[in-house]
Chains A and B, each alone.
Chain A
Amino acid sequence: MSAISDIGDKTGAALAASVKWAAGIIDPPLRWLQKKAGFNGMAAFFLAPNMLIFGIFILVPMVINFAYSMTGGGALFLPDRVFVGGDQYGRLLTCSDYSRPITCTEDQFWIAVRNTAIFVVVQVGLMIVLALTTALVLNKSLRARSFWRAVFFFPVLLSPVVVGLIWRWILQRQGLLNYILFQFGIEPTVWLTDRFWAFVAAVGVSIWAHMGFYALILLAGLQAIPKDLYEAAEMDGTRPARVFWRITLPLLGPNLLVVLVLALIRAVQIFDEVFVLTGGGPGTSTLFITQYIYEIGFASVLRNPGLAAAASILMGAVLVVLTLIQLGVGRRKDPKEAAK
């Protein structure tokens, strides 16, 4: 035992020496830089690599995308494209009757916007309720609790394409669900060609695929709530419902806000699993905004990169507004922030 301890000590000492040696090498130039750049300059220096990557892979593409949205024509490369100003935005937003997408110049954009709005409200609402319920159940002292946590988290590990394919095999005409229904003498339904059921499937599958992640965040929040609050409530004989509304929910607020923001952004961006599951059909009943952008930009024979770029800019703007609203609401709820 002492031999093992000796080896550990020696290894630790060797590692510490090598780190000290490496630090000794970079220390003089960093000290020189700090003298020249000052404290704030050093912060910028350490942030620079990350900002460079962010700039190349996020900021520059965003600027290029915006430039694309101001151009028209079939050419792919920006210098070959014709400047059209805000025409693409005008085309996307022009409708004679906004309640009837067919009257819009880009009717399928509005169908996608409408579908996405309904999807976000239904999916995010259900997702939060189900994730919270799951987290509350998993927070109890259940038998095999770790197993159940793994079960709910497992779908999060799957690729969205795999999720889409699994559920397509279950829901298609000759799928598992219809087989089971048939065994019970129930008439099979072609779930994915029925507009209502296809939308329900899109919502259900996306919740199944992501709920585990949000449940995990909420579970972490539940476990951070001091136990003595519950003990005090129990000693006072407080009803469980009141404990939930007065202790659990308020203290879980920050975690719920994180879940809400993440779920909302993810829901607006919904694409991959639904694209594999329904392809946007039947008709356009599960066509969401990201698929519309993909189709118009890349996949369709009717492709128009400028229009796709304009649609993505509008979608990005909506996401920014939603996030700012949520953060504003979150700050107002936070007593420390509200006091400022």
Chain B
Amino acid sequence: MKKLCAALAIGLLGTTAVQAGDVRVLWYSDGVEGEVLGELLDRFMEEHPDINVILDNVAYTVITEQLPIQLEAGQGPDIARVTDLKSQADHWLDLTPYLEDPEYWRANFGDQADWMRPDGSDAITGFMTQITLTGGFANKTLFDQAGVELPGPDASWDDWMAAASEVAANQQVPMTAALDRSGHRLTGPNISFGANYIGEDGMPAPIGDGVKAFVEKFVGWNNDGVMAQDVWVSAAGTTYRAAAEDFINAQLVYYYSGSWQIPNFAETIGDNFDWVATGSPCGSDACTGMPGGAGLVAVKYTQNPEEVAMVMDYLASEDVVREFSERTLFLPAHKGVIEGGLDYQTDNPLVADALNAFVEASKATAPHALELPGWQWSSAYYGALVNRVSQVIAGELTLDEAYEAMDADIADVVATQSM
């Protein structure tokens, strides 16, 4: 029965049979990284004519909705670019026996290795193609035109909301501030106000005072029109919504998103206006963003693990990581590349400043924020936050009802997954 289901799923998903020597890479792009990777892989194939690397550029929803089904069926690509790394860690291949130099991997990518392997394992399953950090962006031109000074590095969320409101009123901009509709995005500010998601037993902790402190402010700002309601009430459930388009169109003064927006802003805003990355505003306990990113992992159902390891070795090599990061304007995870410095390929001075701002902000990352990407129940917490906070903003639930519902949602996920 399972084989029948698997065959049906694979048939429906249109997966192509893999030939000996073929390595299929499932890849999604936020910007130009798909093109850059294609060129890098062409170079690899010139050096290794016996290995045929097939790059499948797909939409992000294929990664989130179709790949899990393929993996459950014991199928899928040989390598995939994934953001939900931890909860699918059982499907990743331990590359250690196939890699040329596992120590090189441990030394350069060891800090994020736990993000993509089961708890207690020392497997090497892949590496982060980019490290991201959540943080804010301000439309500097609007601030300058309004004669309002940009809040400094230790400014609080209240300071930023007050300053952005002043600018929006002065410049008659429709949207003052926005924060992506994402539990991950909400988590940085929550931790800044003292939130702790992990209980003493490693299981999800009940919604605590830290979450309540920021969520209460956040709901208030939405109700007052300081935060753009368009983002958080524009969908039901856990659907992701960003406000990048509004920032790009200069309709938004302050935007809390993350470092992955930099290439997008560099390309689409151009010299229409000046923008700056501001790091994360401070709460009562910290001024932290949330780390994250996309990892490239090997899938354990591959029939060509040695070829897969050769591709992974190549893509994780220092020169390739450096070139990939410099061309895509991504923050690398590779320690050697970070220490050696990067020469980002852009003429736009705002980009270099923004990247430096995020590197600087990463120093303020709270220890709890660093724990969450490698914690099994992060997604459950994020999902419950988005789902219920949206309902509060829409006026469907009170805050207390929402906290109770969040605890119940998280408990449901734990119970379901533990069956």
Contacts and interface: CB of A to CB of B under 8 A. Distances in A.
A261 B6 CA distance: 37
Interface residues of B, number: 45
Contact of A304 (B174, B230, B412): B412
B342 interface: no
A283 interface: yes
B236 interface: yes
A193 B239 contact: no
A287 interface: yes
Interface stretch (A129-137, A143-151, A292-300): A292-300
A299 B68 CA distance: 11
B1 A279 contact: no
A195 to B, nearest CB: 6
Nearest to A102: B401
Interface residues of A, number: 39
Given A79-B1, A102-B397, A73 B238 contact: no
Contacts of A281: 233-236, 390, 394
B398 to A, nearest CB: 9
Interface in A87-113: 102, 107-108, 111
Most buried by B among A76, A278, A291: A76
Contacts of A102: 397, 401, 405
A295 B230 CA distance: 20
Contacts, number: 123
Nearest to B251: A174
A278 B235 contact: yes
A301 B241 contact: no
A48 interface: no
A283 B382 CA distance: 16
A88 to B, nearest CB: 11
A295 B236 contact: yes
B395 interface: yes
Interface string A264-307: 00000000000000111111111100010001001111101000
Contacts of B394: 195, 281-285
Interface in B143-175: 174-175
A77 interface: yes
Contacts of B2: 77-80
Nearest to A190: B230
Q: Most chain-B Cβ atoms within 10 A of its Cβ — which of A281, A286, A291?
A: A281
B419 interface: yes
Nearest to B378: A301
Contacts of A72: 416, 419
Contacts of A280: 235-237, 239
B241 A76 contact: no
Contacts of B239: 279-280, 295, 299
A108 B238 CA distance: 12
A286 B251 CA distance: 26
A103 B230 CA distance: 28
A225 interface: no
Nearest to B65: A298
B387 A302 contact: yes
A95 B321 CA distance: 54
A74 B419 contact: yes
A127 interface: no
Contacts of A78: 1-2, 5
B237 A300 contact: yes
Contacts of A295: 236-239
B396 interface: yes
Interface in A150-198: 172-174, 190, 192-193, 195
A193 B237 contact: no
A75 B5 CA distance: 13
B72 A75 contact: yes
Nearest to A106: B412
Nearest to B239: A279
Given A77-B5, A295-B236, A302-B413, A82 B419 contact: yes
B352 interface: no
A272 to B, nearest CB: 14
Contacts of B393: 283
B362 interface: no
B388 to A, nearest CB: 10
A190 B73 CA distance: 44
B139 interface: no
B384 interface: yes
Contact of B380 (A173, A284, A298, A301): A301
Given A278-B235, A283-B396, A295-B238, 16 more contacts: A73-B419, A74-B416, A76-B73, A77-B2, A78-B2, A111-B396, A174-B251, A279-B234, A280-B235, A281-B236, A283-B390, A283-B391, A291-B237, A300-B387, A301-B413, A304-B416
Interface of A: 72-80, 82, 102, 107-108, 111, 172-174, 190, 192-193, 195, 278-287, 291, 295, 298-302, 304
9 contacts: A73-B419, A74-B416, A108-B387, A279-B236, A279-B241, A287-B236, A301-B382, A301-B383, A304-B412
